[in-house]
Amino acid sequence: MKRKTGKGGEEEKEEEKNKKKMEIVWQTPAHPAHKDDYILLNGKRHVRPYYFEFVSHVNKRWEGKTIVDLFTQEFRGRPNDYYVSAVKCGRIQVDGENIPVSYIVNRCQKISHFVHRHEPPVMAWDVAILQNEPDVLTVCKPASVPVHPCGQYRKNTVLGILQAEHGLAPLYPIHRLDRLVSGLLIVAKNPAKADIFRQHIEAGLVQKQYVAKVIGVFPECEQVVDANVDYNAREGRSTAEVGISNGDTTLKGKAACTKFTRISTNGIHSIVLCEPTTGRTHQIRVHLQFTGHPIANDMLYLSDNVVDRSTLGMTADRAAALSCSCPTTGCENHNEEYTYSSEDFSIDPMCTHCPNLAPNGYDGHEEGLWLHCVQYSGPGWVYECPYPDWASLS
């Protein structure tokens, strides 16, 4: 038997140390966000890439497809070659088992995809706490930050940041704001309080106020838009429609109504108070477009052209911003360079996004909408948020 030299023993220890360092810890939604998960860089809040298990179940549309075709067709953020390799090495499993690339999926089966997850960056503004009551928390939500985990976002969310930076969890948002919208967000601290708010909302007892910066001189007298809102989930865009349904034609979408009141104007832009009585997707945005005064930096509704976001593999707003050339807002596309540091995160050899912090398709430039929630009120309660800087036309 050969005796190991001192040098060989040290090499073995170093090898074992590196092996442990490379061990993958798979995260799930149960893993909370921590303050050191974030990297603030060039005005953006990035999340250090981490290993995550995505779980989904085979639906009717997926049934009968091979596992590789399913992922290639439904999840376009990665190429076909990646999915072939992921199946072969067990990073894509069905019902907890490794399967061949030719495997055909069946209805309701559980599919796990183990990924090196790169979350999109958001603006590096704080989630400012406005009021912290025993049962209710109100915050000023920054634009670009989703309220709760959705799509590619989990830690880069209002709930994730509040948990990481303030230890506040669990929380129950009683309403939502679109990702690019800023302003008042009301969060209950327990299910009982959340249920009370829900009852008020469902009974139509809650009044909502937003401010928007729109193009042109908005009419001085109050404007009421009563137009159906039809949201196309595939396009990520809504349309407004008015008229009377009869035997030949049927109005699409859901009934929606918004009251608009001009606050100020400088002849180029106007600040408008928006009071929606319903809560349809993109309601204020599409109703302002309907008046002929769209939000001045809303690329998605400044043009009638539909952006093919599915082909680009990104949100409709981001696809619209990337494809715009808009003299009204002077928007430009900027590619931010980032020098990778081994202290920030470890590169995964299979990852299609490494060594970049952001996923592919995110150029680092994104502007929050000039739409801001300023007040919610209901029976016996009122919560408010300060106006944003852009709401002053001086």
CA distance 354 to 48: 11
CA distance 55 to 158: 23
CA distance 344 to 153: 19
Query: How do beta strands 182-188 and 371-378 pair?
Result: parallel
* Token output for 194: 């959340």
178 is catalytic: yes
Q: Report the sign of the C-alpha dihedral through residues 287, 130, 206, 197, in that order.
A: positive
Catalytic residue among 37, 81, 95, 178: 178
Q: Which residues sit opposite 57 in a β-bridge? A: 110
How many residues make up the chain in this entry? 394
Token pair 């299609």 in the structure block, residue = 352
Torsion of the alpha carbons at 365, 370, 238 and 185, rounded to the nearest 10: 100
Q: Which residues sit opposite 269 in a β-bridge? A: 215
CA distance 175 to 29: 21
CA distance 301 to 306: 9
Q: Which residues of 225-253 are buried (b: 16+ CB within 10 A; e: fewer)?
A: bebbbbbeeebbbbbbeeeeeeeeeeeeb
CA distance 156 to 38: 8
CA distance 148 to 164: 13
Residues belonging to the active site: 178
